[in-house]
Structure 1
Amino acid sequence: MRTVRLLLLVLGAAAVAYGSWLLLPQLGTTLPWLIGGPLLHDALAAPLIGLVGLALGRLVTDRVRLAWITAGLMVSATLVLIAVPLLWRPPSAPPNPGLPDRNYPLGLAAALATLWAAILIVLSPLTHRRPRTNEQPPRVVRPGTPTDDITR
């Protein structure tokens, strides 16, 4: 087992070294995106989602519903962060004739609409729950009173 782990470590290190060697010529243009993405996430998206989650935690009392809404917010933020380079500026290279031109703002809007429609579909049975009619209120047992169903 130790030999397999060592072999995997050597192969992984070789893959990282080869990828770094290939990235070296484009490092000046790639480095801002490699550093900027995590910084943008940690400085902007994560605190914003945390604050919205705290506010939703006070408004939405059902834990299942809150989990779905929070997951939708996280996926929405990830989609927006992935789309930022495509929305920020037009591509610098001419369009590739083999690839169809895309409308990236429309694609982002469609992805977000599909995500929230799916979340609403999942949550809709939770909002239309009928209260149980045969439920009885809990029985209060006071200390010192005899009960039939409690055995000592």
Structure 2
Amino acid sequence: MRTVRLLLLVLGVAAAAYGGWLLLPQLGTTLPWLLGGPLLHDVLVAPLVGLVGLALGRLVTNRLRLAWISAGLLASATLLLIAVPLLWRPPSAPPNPGLPDRDYPLGLTAGLAVVWAVIVLVLVVAAIVGRTRGTDRS
């Protein structure tokens, strides 16, 4: 078993070294992306998410509501993360029929509207069911 692990380690290091060798000529253009992503996350995104979570925990005392609102925020953040490259700059490749003619801002708005409409609907139904049962679980 130790031999297999050592062999896998050597292969992994060799693959990483080869990838680094291939990356070397483009290092000037890729280094800002390789450093910028984690730096942006650690400086801006992580503290912002922590503050939003702290505020939500204090403002929303019902655990069911908190779970659904948190899920909505997570889905919204995922949609925004996927949409940023499409909204930020035009496509660099030649047009592919049927793809670049989409209205990405409208699509993002529609996706976010659907996510939050479903969450509001679930919370309203939970509130109605909680009231009919005599306990407010919303």
**Fold conserved between structures, TM > 0.5:** yes
Cα distance in 1 between the residues matched to 2:3 and 2:118: 47
Cα distance in 1 between the residues matched to 2:121 and 2:8: 44
Q: How does 1:101-116 map to 2 (within 5 A)?
A: 101=100, 102-116=102-116
The RMSD of aligned alpha carbons is: 2.9
Bigger Rg, structure 1 or 2 = 1
Partner of 1:88: 88
**How many aligned residue pairs are there?**
133
Partner of 2:99: 100
- Alpha-carbon deviation of 1:94? 4.2
Q: Which runs of at least 4 in structure 1 moved beyond 6 Å after TM superposition?
A: none
Partner of 1:22: 22
Name the one with the larger helix percent: 2
| TM-score for the superposition, normalised by structure 1 | 0.65
8 A Cα contact 1:49 1:73, kept in partner:
no
- Alpha-carbon deviation of 1:82? 4.3
Q: Deviation per CA, 1:5-44, whole angstroms, max 9, x where unpaired?
A: 3233223223322222222222211211121112222222
| TM-score for the superposition, normalised by structure 2 | 0.70
Q: Which moved more, 1:51-60 or 1:124-133?
A: 124-133
Instruction: Please state whether the residue corresponding to 1:130 is helix, strand or coil.
Output: helix
Q: What one-letter code is carried by the residue in structure 2 that aligns with 1:56?
A: L
Partner of 1:60: 60
Q: Deviation per CA, 1:56-114, whole angstroms, max 9, x where unpaired?
A: 212211223212322332343344344334333334x3424477214433343344334
Structure 1: 5+ residue stretches without partners:
136-152
Does the C-alpha gap of structure 1 residues 104 and 127 become closer, same or farther in structure 2, counting only changes over 3 Å?
A: same
Partner of 1:43: 43
Q: Which moved more, 1:124-133 or 1:31-40?
A: 124-133
- Alpha-carbon deviation of 1:125? 3.8
